[in-house]
Structure 1
Amino acid sequence: MRPLEIAIAGCGVAGLASAALLTRQGARVVIFDKLETPKPIGSGIIMQPVGLHVLDAIGAGEAMRALGAPITRLYGQSAPRGNVVLDVRYDARGKHAPSGLGVHRGALFQVLFDAARALGVPVESGRDVVGVSDGRLRFADGAESAKFDLVIDALGARSPLSHAAKAPLPFGALWASLKWVDGFDGAALEQRYEAARKMTGVMPIGRLAGETQDQAAFFWSLKHTDRAAWQAGDLEAWKHEVRALWPKTAPLLDQIHRHEDLVFAAYAHRTLREPLSRECVHVGDSWHCTSPQLGQGANMALLDAYALAAALRSQSDLSIALGEYARLRLWHIRLYQSASFLFTPAYQSEAAIAAWLRDWIMSPISRVPPAPAVLAALVAGELGAPLAAIAGIDRQ
């Protein structure tokens, strides 16, 4: 039987993972990306156990673990009392349960890019995709691609092939990758809050390939409407505000010399009813995007790629396979989109009531069994058993 000819729009986590998995199955894949040199944007993320499982299937898991930093705990305190309002430990699922891995986005991109290129996946750069019709990608310069059997949209939350979110979430975040300094927990994501209006965090993210310096991801929550004022404002005054919330960040802040040393990340919340539209199939943020509160973005993208590859492997009829892909992922996506929607106001909002509920009700309840194990499974990406569902179609 003739191998599938597949075009992938977007050379990010979802696109590269899809390319590697589908090429391993014998498909002929081409990636199209608008950048002349594809690269990631952002700082650090947590690879959850479900995401690491997919990286192992791609053959990139070992390389990722060699660069990342194990994360065993998510921990946060609220000012000014210093009371603990977040304490999620991966081992609450069991003594030997796998933990997370703090990684630099650049390192994740590189191991996936290397895996795809090692499989011979061609990448056509400088191709700004603006549409798709009859199996052909349309580009901003008016050109069209050859005809493909399947087009995969991996262009992210602002994909022109998907429906745009109505508006970005009120809060985004400033991010920076900095040299790791002693004094922070080397195996934890640590956060400090003032109500839900202010949030800062530090997380070990290992190192980039070819480097020896361990890094930390630093972030500061910021409203979209305050971004221009922050950019025009005095950097030292902002640093004073951060130190007032969390004095221990001082040696990290000393590494920030210009506003441009931080990147502003915007977030949106949107889920398409199904991953099929405009003659293509969506993976990752082009299908579903949300706030980063549960740390699932890259992991959900990897699961999408894994499920799509499994569905195409199990069904020879393309339309049936795509329906199977939707079935495999829809429940898990809806579960995590709902959880993220509910958790976000407690950590990034102007809502004083949400912060009060977090500190005085949600936090105490989270320490009562079985809540610790449930929260750990939620953070690990395991609620809804996504890997078992995907593995199940190979046993049918």
Structure 2
Amino acid sequence: MAAGHSLAPERIQPRSDRAGPELSAAADIAVAGAGPAGLALAVMLARQGRRVTVYERFDQPRPVGAGFMLQPTGLAVLDRMGLTAEVEALAQPIDHLFGRAHPSGRVVLDVRYADLATPRNALGVHRAALFHVLQKAAVKAGVAFETGWPVRAASHGRLKRADGLLSPAYDLIVDAMGARSPVGHRMLTGVGRRRHELAYGALWATTPWPADSHFDPRALQQVYRKADTMIGVLPVGRRPRDKASLATFFWSLKHADYPRWREAGLDAWKEQVLSFWPETASILDTITDPDQLTMARYGHHTLRSPVEAKLAVIGDAAHSTSPQLGQGVNMGLLDAFVLAEALDAHVDLDRALRAYAAERRWHLRLYQALSLVFTPFYQADGRLLPFVRDHVLGRVSRLPGAARLLAATVSGLLLDPRPNAR
């Protein structure tokens, strides 16, 4: 199904007056948050000739979080930005996702990008690598940065800092501050809704890629025990200026169990991990301090509308969920691309914001719903859902056409939103 089927009257169309000197929509824009979505948007807007300032809460912009997968959707945005080759030089190609159940060893997940109608591998990427490429592009494009600016609110074209200081007035504010953005939270609760906090999160660590042959360097590999235990190893390439290849290692854990995990100590935890997946010994040997593991917390929310007067919200600030489908960064890059295109296509700011919201609506709703449905099969209590996953979904996945559908789902290509699908 083509993305254009859902966009109706606000479909973004090329402007007929691009040769004129007037910038469409907004000339001065503030982007709150220097994550992948915020930086990508800043680059695209600055290249259009706009004055763009990125506000960042840290004293120096820096990447935060685990390694992740750039899917064909996110890569299509980088293609249009001309940055794919730079990211590929630091990343690791991923051609399939593989998971098996413990203790049976039954394969319950086997998704291959070669099954796509137009095959394209994903990339395992360390956040520092993508940040490096995007920040360099932002500086080259003339983006300004205001650091040490923890944003508390945004209204009437101004940002408000935690200490009450106001920013200059802008034509447009873009909230790219992530899932716990105070701006996004205000928009969510303002319509009587709330963020649904998920019981399960994950401990994750960046480790050297294991030198032994137990792990496929082109695959995300996972082991499950029912739905209450999930272990994963994802190759994520390397950091800028480093030569060593890295992995992101993760272990599912309830937030409420984290204090008990700290109290029990690393040795007890490692013994537990090894009982499920002995081959992880070489990875666990590199983890010698509990502070090497970060506890990630997840929640689910979707803004009814990601726009207000002089305000747009992109990425996890507008729509967050568990990482089971691996869409988070990719959705943010798509948001950034569509918003930049909308601003370039429409002279009227309100119309541009409506076009952005309409263009992203159905793809986001589909994947938010899919994530909400599928997450309990991998992170939940009980026996029924993992039984269905292991004994029913596995068989369904072998039906004719199922492999292509699974690959398209994981790649983010249902209701194909890629720029080259326009």
TM-score with structure 2 length normalisation? Answer: 0.90
* CA–CA distance in structure 2, aligned partners of residues 255 and 235 of structure 1: 12
Question: Given the alignment, which residue of 331, 334, 358 partners 1:327?
Answer: 358
Secondary structure class of the residue paired with 1:175: strand
* CA–CA distance in structure 2, aligned partners of residues 167 and 137 of structure 1: 26
Question: Given the alignment, which residue of 20, 24, 28 partners 2:51?
Answer: 28
Structure 1 residue aligned with 2:183: 161
Whether the aligned pair in 1 keeps the contact of 2:196 and 2:301 (CA below 8 Å) is no
Structure 2 residue aligned with 1:124: 146
Question: Given the alignment, which residue of 91, 116, 140 partners 1:93?
Answer: 116
- How far 1:166 sits from its partner (Å)? 3.1
1:336 aligns with 2:367: yes
Question: Given the alignment, which residue of 28, 31, 40 partners 1:8?
Answer: 31
- How far 1:277 sits from its partner (Å)? 3.8
* CA–CA distance in structure 1, aligned partners of residues 151 and 49 of structure 2: 25
Question: Given the alignment, which residue of 232, 236, 260 partners 2:263?
Answer: 232
* CA–CA distance in structure 1, aligned partners of residues 292 and 309 of structure 2: 39
* CA–CA distance in structure 2, aligned partners of residues 178 and 386 of structure 1: 33
Structure 1 residue aligned with 2:75: 52
* CA–CA distance in structure 2, aligned partners of residues 273 and 155 of structure 1: 18
Structure 2 residue aligned with 1:174: 203
- How far 1:280 sits from its partner (Å)? 1.4
* CA–CA distance in structure 1, aligned partners of residues 405 and 29 of structure 2: 39
1:275 aligns with 2:306: yes
Change (3 A) 1:391 1:99: closer
Whether the aligned pair in 2 keeps the contact of 1:162 and 1:277 (CA below 8 Å) is no
1:314 aligns with 2:336: no
Whether the aligned pair in 1 keeps the contact of 2:156 and 2:309 (CA below 8 Å) is no
Question: Given the alignment, which residue of 83, 103, 107 partners 1:80?
Answer: 103
Secondary structure class of the residue paired with 1:269: strand
* CA–CA distance in structure 2, aligned partners of residues 391 and 321 of structure 1: 20
- How far 1:26 sits from its partner (Å)? 1.4
Whether the aligned pair in 2 keeps the contact of 1:71 and 1:99 (CA below 8 Å) is yes
AA partner of residue 282 (structure 1): V
Whether the aligned pair in 2 keeps the contact of 1:67 and 1:107 (CA below 8 Å) is yes
Whether the aligned pair in 1 keeps the contact of 2:309 and 2:350 (CA below 8 Å) is no
Secondary structure class of the residue paired with 1:67: coil
Deviations 1:291-325 (A, max 9, x none): 00000000000000000011111111110111110
Structure 2 residue aligned with 1:250: 281
AA partner of residue 125 (structure 1): T
Higher relative contact order (CA 8 A, sep 6+): 2
Structure 1 residue aligned with 2:240: 209
Whether the aligned pair in 1 keeps the contact of 2:363 and 2:417 (CA below 8 Å) is yes
Deviates more, 1:135-144 or 1:215-224: 135-144
* CA–CA distance in structure 1, aligned partners of residues 65 and 275 of structure 2: 25
Whether the aligned pair in 2 keeps the contact of 1:132 and 1:279 (CA below 8 Å) is no
Question: Given the alignment, which residue of 279, 285, 294 partners 1:263?
Answer: 294
Whether the aligned pair in 2 keeps the contact of 1:99 and 1:380 (CA below 8 Å) is no
AA partner of residue 353 (structure 2): L
AA partner of residue 231 (structure 2): T
Identity %: 47
- How far 1:168 sits from its partner (Å)? 2.0
* CA–CA distance in structure 1, aligned partners of residues 154 and 273 of structure 2: 46
After superposition, where does 1:371-382 map in structure 2 within 5 Å?
A: 371-382=402-413
Structure 2 residue aligned with 1:289: 320
* CA–CA distance in structure 1, aligned partners of residues 170 and 309 of structure 2: 14
Structure 1 residue aligned with 2:330: 299
Question: Given the alignment, which residue of 383, 388, 395 partners 1:352?
Answer: 383
Whether the aligned pair in 2 keeps the contact of 1:69 and 1:205 (CA below 8 Å) is yes
Structure 2 residue aligned with 1:186: 217
* CA–CA distance in structure 2, aligned partners of residues 366 and 20 of structure 1: 40
* CA–CA distance in structure 1, aligned partners of residues 363 and 382 of structure 2: 28
- How far 1:61 sits from its partner (Å)? 1.1
* CA–CA distance in structure 1, aligned partners of residues 332 and 284 of structure 2: 32
* CA–CA distance in structure 2, aligned partners of residues 130 and 391 of structure 1: 37
Whether the aligned pair in 2 keeps the contact of 1:204 and 1:215 (CA below 8 Å) is yes
AA partner of residue 39 (structure 1): R
Whether the aligned pair in 2 keeps the contact of 1:59 and 1:115 (CA below 8 Å) is no
Whether the aligned pair in 2 keeps the contact of 1:345 and 1:351 (CA below 8 Å) is no
- How far 1:278 sits from its partner (Å)? 7.0
AA partner of residue 169 (structure 2): K
Structure 1 runs (4+) greater than 4 angstroms displaced: none
